């Protein structure tokens, strides 16, 4: 009985609320970098100016990715070069162009490497968002453009980061509420690739406190952490620093943006 | 856009150089899956000539990324590479290249790079330095080599110091992190590597 | 505890024998052969190392993020080394070469790494072991110093990784081994920060605010309330010498580790080389450890606590060792007699009474009763009325309570000692008389009867006034 109800519910929501993928215009603005970032000589952490750009309202889905590999055989599961992706690339695919039975076509595509995500965006005349752009989008709650210091918002994010991972398939995109800009699933469903994932000069080791070793790293300024009470930002930072360009992970996907490259 | 252009260029090169016996390889030649030669981006050498990593096929490569305006550890990295060059000579290692790739696509054009190599007295074999044509190409190469970097406000780059050894097939085999790391093992490894 | 030596052992022994033939005597720090470390889940400890030589030890440790019970009816997402909190116990020998494999399960959300305090080198392994979900990192180290060390995750934000249970112990035995004892157990304290308060039912997420303010909701031994209580109490026998490997993962609190009714004959202070003797309470710092040893002379249940005592009675830092064997009345007599004590000069002068508030309605009686309950009863019967298994009887859904209102009033007024049976479990403890007014007795009992599935009886001050205190000794005898 319960089962039938659940099914009916899924059926209903899938049809009533299916969000169409589109590019959303994002107004420019400023971002206070709260991840660990290079600072200028004075140690001041300046705000980063974000020019206007466009962003996908949804992460790229499995079915969209199937279309991509159909047109670009190089990126198929059987053809991918090891230097571009780990062996678990497209683990949710049964074969080059088919998903496994239990995988939802509208679930975000995961088990994709940075190289593959990039190639996807490029094939659509788009690109991956930069770290600053993603954090700018991710700072928005449902009602505020910048909720990065809103304790309730941070607590909700922590709840997601801390939720049991579960081993079932990843749910479809567009189920939650859109954020201030009208974007879905920036938090709560998957992690997302960014263009400059490899820009963090200190490891995800928590205790280096922004100090860097001159022998290992060449930099004019020093590196400093921002708000130490923003655990979600630190978790994203640690997550990114654990990645290689080839990493393919069960809950790591991507969305693309349009606009002049901005790092 | 740039990718399409580069594919076109590649196709042209193939059409001209390969002739009839290459008809089955309409796209790129097949390299090992782990090889950096699978990267198709085009860089410029100090003479301004277009160059792909695959053009080094058959040579051992020591590769790192620097930029010519760098005043901190890049000179130390070059000093380190000179030491390694001396030690490789002692071991009789010949058929290899030292390839410096630049982070700075805005300032490090081939002319600037050629001057830099001359200043540093490395405008000779086995050294070369590549100028990037776009920021995206730099990001890609850094990801392949496991180098992290971020652009700084004054136009410089904060970056990790990593030296990567690629065998004759372009497969990364060993890396050295830091400008003061002991390179003995790396030199021995290169000398003994028959691949 | 002891296992027959495996084939691998035989092999290394054979190699050792051959090398002995060649070299004459074993070089103290020569690495001979290799073996895969057998790790154990708490409270188990791997058997003592019997080999005399050093070897290459391969350690496989898997990170798992999993939902588990933190208290009855309360779930929490723990991040674990090996699927348990604390993580698997690792046992090696001074001079061993350790090849460490850290894997992160593909279903994990987070990257993790490991800092072993037994490692000499920057980061203690952490910078070499940052591991994304679905990957494995390998690094090696030589165990230069012996001792009992904490290991933990150091990925950003470290407070959350440690706060979610990512720690464990690694024992580096000295070259000559540790003295033989009869039993070894693994106990590790940690503080936990949940959104809801202590005992609040259902799934509870991590609270960043409480963690930063260092206000734990739970302080626990081995990862959950009651992990070492009741049936799960650590076993021992009279006459045995017991060794506890005690760790403290933190993230914030220092433990005042104490075993009620025992004296630690030997304490390897903070897990190091110096031995202190005859301590009752020893400090175990966050990120630190201690080895304690004691001989059990008298049977019974010994309760281990963090002697910062509110953590034991309000936050869960309580575990048990159950020792079986013959009594020895010379060493400990138990209660000999108990009688009335009347000091000369009579009772103390009465302090002027505060204005008495009288409940005007049933709701108000329940509300006022709840306050009295929280002030007087929760330490033993717990905020949720469930009590502590084998120590303090439950008031929730209690047959004993619901059967007899008059008896209940008598107990609240006069206390209770001696054996009773509640919901099929027997208890034999002491409840002190509470000095409450009849109004307060009525309020607190009406609250208790109104809560947790009880019979919803009301108790009025008049009823309370009529019942005589039960007397400290009485019921059940």
Q: What's the rounded Cα separation, in Å, for the pair C131 and C115?
A: 12
Q: What's the rounded Cα separation, in Å, for the pair C37 and C34?
A: 9
Percent of chain C with pLDDT over 70: 88
- Whether the CB-CB separation of B169 and B35 falls below 8 Å is answered with yes
| pLDDT given for residue B23 in this prediction | 39
Highest mean pLDDT among A156-170, C280-294, C305-319, C386-400: C280-294
- Whether the CB-CB separation of B132 and B43 falls below 8 Å is answered with yes
- Whether the CB-CB separation of A204 and A241 falls below 8 Å is answered with yes
Question: Which of the residue ranges A175-189, C325-339, C442-456 would you say has the lowest mean pLDDT?
Answer: C325-339
List chain A residues with CB under 8 Å of B72. 214, 218-220
Listed residue (C158, C170, C189) closest to C285, CA to CA = C189
- The pLDDT tens digits for B101-114 are 999 999 999 999 99
Is there a contact between A83 and B151 if contact means CB atoms under 8 Å apart?
no
Overall average pLDDT of the C342-370 stretch: 67
The angle subtended at Cα B127 by Cα B123 and Cα B130, nearest 5°, is: 90
Overall average pLDDT of the C419-439 stretch: 83
Distance from CA of B81 to the nearest CA of A (A): 15
Regarding beta strands C115-116 and C147-152, do their DSSP bridges make them parallel or antiparallel, or are they unpaired?
antiparallel
pLDDT of A224 higher than 80 = no
Overall average pLDDT of the C34-63 stretch: 96
* A202 Cβ contact list (under 8 Å, min separation 6): A36, A208, A210, A211, A212, A217, A223, A241
Regarding beta strands B60-66 and B162-166, do their DSSP bridges make them parallel or antiparallel, or are they unpaired?
antiparallel
The half-sphere exposure of C316 on its side-chain side, counting CA atoms within 13 A, is 25
The pTM of this model reads 0.72
pLDDT of C91 higher than 80 = yes
Distance from CA of C154 to the nearest CA of A (A): 6
pLDDT of A64 higher than 70 = yes
- Whether the CB-CB separation of C434 and C413 falls below 8 Å is answered with yes
Q: How does the average pLDDT of chain C come out, rounded?
A: 87
Element (H, E) at C98: strand C97-104
- The pLDDT tens digits for B121-171 are 999 999 999 999 999 999 999 999 999 998 877 788 888 889 999 999 999
pLDDT of C25 higher than 50 = no
Note which residues in 10-29 of chain C have CB less than 8 A from chain A: none
Chains A, B: CB pairs < 8 Å: 105
The half-sphere exposure of B18 on its side-chain side, counting CA atoms within 13 A, is 15
Is the preceding peptide bond at B126 cis, omega within 30 degrees of 0?
Answer: yes
- Whether the CB-CB separation of C202 and C74 falls below 8 Å is answered with yes
Overall average pLDDT of the C227-239 stretch: 93
- The pLDDT tens digits for B18-51 are 433 443 444 556 899 999 999 999 999 999 999 9
| pLDDT given for residue C28 in this prediction | 59
Q: What's the rounded Cα separation, in Å, for the pair C457 and C477?
A: 27
Is the preceding peptide bond at C43 cis, omega within 30 degrees of 0?
Answer: yes
Is there a contact between A203 and C127 if contact means CB atoms under 8 Å apart?
yes
* B87 Cβ contact list (under 8 Å, min separation 6): B183, B184, B187
Distance from CA of A82 to the nearest CA of B (A): 5
Minimum Cα–Cα distance from B179: chain A residue: A215
Chains C and B touch (3+ CB pairs under 8 A): no
Is there a contact between A207 and C108 if contact means CB atoms under 8 Å apart?
no
| pLDDT given for residue C335 in this prediction | 75
- The pLDDT tens digits for C173-207 are 999 999 999 999 999 999 999 999 998 888 999 99
Q: What's the rounded Cα separation, in Å, for the pair B1 and C436?
A: 84
Interhelix angle B184-192/B74-90, nearest 10 degrees? 50
Task: Kindly report the length of chain A.
Answer: 263
Distance from CA of C189 to the nearest CA of A (A): 21
- Whether the CB-CB separation of C156 and C112 falls below 8 Å is answered with no
Is there a contact between A244 and B177 if contact means CB atoms under 8 Å apart?
no
Q: Which of A47, A83, A200 to mutate to probe the B interface, most B CBs <10 Å?
A: A83
- Whether the CB-CB separation of A242 and C111 falls below 8 Å is answered with yes
- Give DSSP secondary structure letters for B104-167: -TTT--HHHHHHHHHHTT--STTEEEEB-S-HHHHHHHHHHHT--EEE-TTS-EEEE-EEEEE-
Which chains share 3+ C-beta pairs under 8 angstroms with B? A
pLDDT of C85 higher than 80 = yes
pLDDT of B78 higher than 70 = yes
- Whether the CB-CB separation of C253 and C219 falls below 8 Å is answered with yes
Question: Which of the residue ranges B68-72, C6-10, C310-314, C357-361 would you say has the lowest mean pLDDT?
Answer: C6-10
pLDDT of C292 higher than 50 = yes
- Whether the CB-CB separation of A193 and A253 falls below 8 Å is answered with yes
- Chain centroid to Cα C277, Å, comes to 23
A132 torsion bin: left (phi>0), alpha (psi -120 to 50), beta (else): alpha
- Helix spans in C230-361 (H): 310-314
- Whether the CB-CB separation of C155 and C187 falls below 8 Å is answered with no
Is there a contact between B35 and A127 if contact means CB atoms under 8 Å apart?
no
Q: How does the average pLDDT of chain A come out, rounded?
A: 83
| pLDDT given for residue C80 in this prediction | 97
pLDDT of A209 higher than 50 = no
Q: What's the rounded Cα separation, in Å, for the pair B106 and B131?
A: 9
Listed residue (A103, A82, C473, A201) closest to B33, CA to CA = A82
Distance from CA of A92 to the nearest CA of C (A): 13
C126 in contact with A, Cβ within 8 Å: yes
A210 torsion bin: left (phi>0), alpha (psi -120 to 50), beta (else): left
Percent of chain B with pLDDT over 70: 85
Classify C443 as helix, strand or coil: helix
Q: What's the rounded Cα separation, in Å, for the pair C218 and C163?
A: 11
List chain B residues with CB under 8 Å of A81. 31, 33-35, 38
Is there a contact between C106 and A237 if contact means CB atoms under 8 Å apart?
no
Which residue has tokens 């796209």? B27
**C467 vs B129, higher pLDDT:** B129
Overall average pLDDT of the A184-204 stretch: 86
> For the purposes of burial, counting CB atoms within 10 Å of the CB of C24, is it exposed (0-12), middle (13-18) or buried (19 or more)?
exposed
**A203 vs B59, higher pLDDT:** B59
Q: What's the rounded Cα separation, in Å, for the pair C238 and C295?
A: 8
Listed residue (C145, C144, C139) closest to C125, CA to CA = C139
Listed residue (A211, A134, A50, A80) closest to B38, CA to CA = A80
Q: Buried b vs exposed e over C248-262: b needs ≥16 C-beta within 10 Å?
A: bbbbbbbbbbbbeeb
Q: What's the rounded Cα separation, in Å, for the pair A33 and B46?
A: 37
- Chain centroid to Cα C339, Å, comes to 36
| pLDDT given for residue A16 in this prediction | 46
In chain C, % helix, strand, coil (3-state, to 5) comes to 20, 35, 45
Is there a contact between B152 and A219 if contact means CB atoms under 8 Å apart?
yes
Is there a contact between A218 and B178 if contact means CB atoms under 8 Å apart?
no
- The pLDDT tens digits for C315-354 are 999 999 999 998 888 888 777 766 666 665 544 444 444 4
- Give DSSP secondary structure letters for C382-433: -TTS--BTTTB---TT-HHHHH-HHHHHHHHHH-EEEEEEETTEEEEEEEPP
List chain C residues with CB under 8 Å of A203. 126-127, 130
Q: What's the rounded Cα separation, in Å, for the pair C320 and A77?
A: 55
The two tokens of residue A22 are 């589109």
Listed residue (C85, C144, C97) closest to C117, CA to CA = C144
| pLDDT given for residue C379 in this prediction | 76
Q: What's the rounded Cα separation, in Å, for the pair A67 and A73?
A: 10
Interhelix angle A114-123/A62-71, nearest 10 degrees? 80
pLDDT of A58 higher than 70 = yes
Nearest-CB residue to C130 (from A154, A155, A203): A203
pLDDT of B17 higher than 50 = no
A215 in contact with C, Cβ within 8 Å: no
Listed residue (C316, C187, C189) closest to C252, CA to CA = C189
- What is the C-alpha R_g of chain A? 19
Q: What's the rounded Cα separation, in Å, for the pair B101 and B43?
A: 9
- What is the C-alpha R_g of chain C? 27
Q: How far is CA C167 from CA C83, C135, C159, in A?
A: 11, 20, 12
* C221 Cβ contact list (under 8 Å, min separation 6): C187, C188, C189, C227, C228, C304, C317, C318, C319
Regarding beta strands C241-250 and C183-192, do their DSSP bridges make them parallel or antiparallel, or are they unpaired?
parallel
The two tokens of residue A159 are 């709840």
Minimum Cα–Cα distance from B162: chain A residue: A216
The two tokens of residue C421 are 């049976």
- Give DSSP secondary structure letters for A191-226: EE--TTGGG--S-SBTTSTT---TTTEE-SS-EE--
- Whether the CB-CB separation of C92 and C229 falls below 8 Å is answered with no
pLDDT of C105 higher than 80 = yes
pLDDT of B195 higher than 70 = no
**C441 vs C186, higher pLDDT:** C186
What are φ and ψ of residue B96, in 5° steps? -145, 165
Q: What's the rounded Cα separation, in Å, for the pair A61 and A164?
A: 23
Regarding beta strands C74-81 and C54-71, do their DSSP bridges make them parallel or antiparallel, or are they unpaired?
antiparallel
């Amino acid at each position: 009985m319960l089962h039938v109800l659940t099914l009916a519910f899924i059926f209903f929501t899938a049809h009533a609320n299916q969000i169409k993928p589109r590019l959303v215009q994002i107004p420019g603005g400023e971002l206070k970098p709260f991840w660990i970032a290079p600072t200028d000589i004075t140690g001041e952490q300046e705000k980063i100016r974000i020019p206007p750009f466009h962003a996908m309202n949804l992460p790229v889905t499995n079915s969209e990715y199937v279309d991509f590999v159909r047109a670009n055989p190089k990126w198929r599961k059987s053809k991918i070069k090891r230097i571009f992706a780990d062996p678990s690339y497209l683990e949710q695919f049964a074969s080059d162009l088919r998903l496994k039975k239990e995988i939802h076509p509208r679930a975000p595509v995961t088990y994709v490497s940075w190289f593959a995500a990039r190639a996807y965006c490029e094939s659509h005349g788009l690109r991956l968002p930069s770290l600053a752009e993603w954090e700018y989008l991710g700072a928005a709650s449902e009602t505020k453009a910048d909720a990065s210091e809103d304790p309730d918002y941070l607590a909700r994010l922590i709840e997601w980061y801390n939720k049991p991972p579960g081993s079932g398939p990843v749910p479809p995109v567009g189920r939650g509420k859109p954020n201030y800009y009208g974007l879905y699933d920036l938090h709560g469903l998957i992690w997302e690739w960014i263009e400059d994932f490899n820009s963090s000069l200190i490891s995800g080791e928590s205790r280096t406190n922004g100090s860097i070793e001159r022998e290992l790293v060449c930099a004019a300024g020093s590196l400093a952490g921002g708000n130490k009470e923003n655990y979600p930002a630190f978790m994203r930072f640690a997550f990114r620093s654990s990645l290689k360009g080839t990493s393919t992970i069960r809950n790591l996907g991507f969305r693309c943006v349009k606009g002049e490259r901005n790092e | 856009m740039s990718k399409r252009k580069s594919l076109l260029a590649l196709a042209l090169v193939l059409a001209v150089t390969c002739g009839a016996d290459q008809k089955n390889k309409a796209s790129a030649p097949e390299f090992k899956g782990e090889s950096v030669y699978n990267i198709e981006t085009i860089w410029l050498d100090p003479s301004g000539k277009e160059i792909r990593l695959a053009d080094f096929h058959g040579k051992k490569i020591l590769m790192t990324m620097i930029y010519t305006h760098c005043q901190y550890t890049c000179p130390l990295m070059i000093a380190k590479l000179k030491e390694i060059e001396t030690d490789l000579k002692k071991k009789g290692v010949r058929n290899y290249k030292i390839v410096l790739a630049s982070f700075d696509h805005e300032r490090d054009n081939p002319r600037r790079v050629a001057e830099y190599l001359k200043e540093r007295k490395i405008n000779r074999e086995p050294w070369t330095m590549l100028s990037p044509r776009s920021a995206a190409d730099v990001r890609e190469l850094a990801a392949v080599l496991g180098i992290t970097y971020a652009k700084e406000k004054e136009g410089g780059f904060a970056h990790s110091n990593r030296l990567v050894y690629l065998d004759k097939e372009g497969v990364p085999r060993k890396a050295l992190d830091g400008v003061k790391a002991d390179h003995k093992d790396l030199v021995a490894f290169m000398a003994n590597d028959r691949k | 505890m002891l296992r027959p030596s495996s084939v691998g052992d035989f092999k290394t022994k054979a190699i050792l024998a051959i090398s002995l033939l060649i070299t004459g005597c074993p070089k103290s720090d020569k690495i001979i052969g290799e073996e895969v470390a057998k790790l154990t889940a708490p409270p188990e400890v791997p058997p003592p190392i019997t080999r005399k030589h050093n070897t290459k030890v391969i350690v496989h440790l898997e990170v798992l993020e999993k939902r588990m019970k933190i208290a009855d009816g309360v779930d929490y997402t723990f991040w674990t080394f090996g699927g348990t909190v604390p993580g698997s116990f690792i046992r090696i020998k001074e001079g061993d070469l350790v090849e460490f494999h850290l894997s992160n399960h593909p279903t994990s959300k987070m990257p993790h790494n490991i800092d072993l305090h037994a490692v000499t080198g920057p980061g203690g392994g952490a910078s070499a072991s940052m591991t994304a979900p679905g990957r494995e990192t390998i690094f090696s180290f030589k165990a230069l110093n012996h001792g009992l060390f904490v290991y933990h995750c150091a990925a950003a934000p470290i407070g959350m990784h440690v706060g979610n249970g990512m720690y464990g112990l690694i024992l580096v035995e000295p070259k000559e081994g540790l003295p033989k004892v009869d039993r070894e157990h693994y106990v590790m304290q940690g503080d936990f920060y949940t959104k809801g308060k202590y005992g609040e039912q259902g799934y509870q997420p991590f609270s960043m605010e409480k963690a930063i303010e260092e206000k734990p909701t739970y302080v626990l031994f081995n990862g959950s309330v009651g992990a070492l209580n009741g049936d799960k109490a650590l076993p021992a026998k009279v006459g045995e010498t017991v060794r506890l490997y005690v760790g403290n993962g933190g993230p914030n609190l220092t433990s005042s580790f104490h075993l009620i009714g025992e004296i630690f004959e030997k304490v390897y202070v903070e897990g190091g080389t110096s031995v202190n003797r005859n301590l009752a309470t020893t400090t175990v710092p966050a990120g630190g450890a201690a080895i304690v040893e004691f001989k059990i002379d008298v049977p019974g249940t010994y309760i281990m606590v963090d002697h910062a005592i509110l953590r034991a009675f309000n936050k869960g830092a309580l575990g048990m060792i159950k020792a079986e064997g013959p009594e020895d009345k010379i060493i400990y007599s138990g209660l000999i007699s108990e009688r009335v004590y009347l000091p000369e000069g009579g009772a103390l002068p009465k302090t002027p009474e505060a204005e008495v508030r009288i409940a005007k309605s049933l709701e108000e009686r329940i509300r006022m009763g709840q306050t009295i309950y929280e002030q007087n009863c929760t330490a033993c019967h717990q905020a949720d009325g469930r009590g502590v298994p084998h120590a303090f009887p439950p008031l929730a859904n209690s047959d004993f309570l619901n059967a007899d209102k008059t008896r209940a009033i008598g107990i609240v007024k006069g206390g209770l000692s001696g054996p009773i049976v509640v919901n099929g479990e027997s208890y034999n403890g002491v409840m002190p008389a509470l000095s409450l007014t009849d109004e307060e007795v009525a309020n607190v009992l009406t609250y208790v009867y109104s809560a947790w599935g009880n019979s919803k009886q009301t108790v009025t001050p008049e009823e309370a006034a009529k019942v005589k205190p039960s007397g400290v000794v009485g019921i059940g005898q």
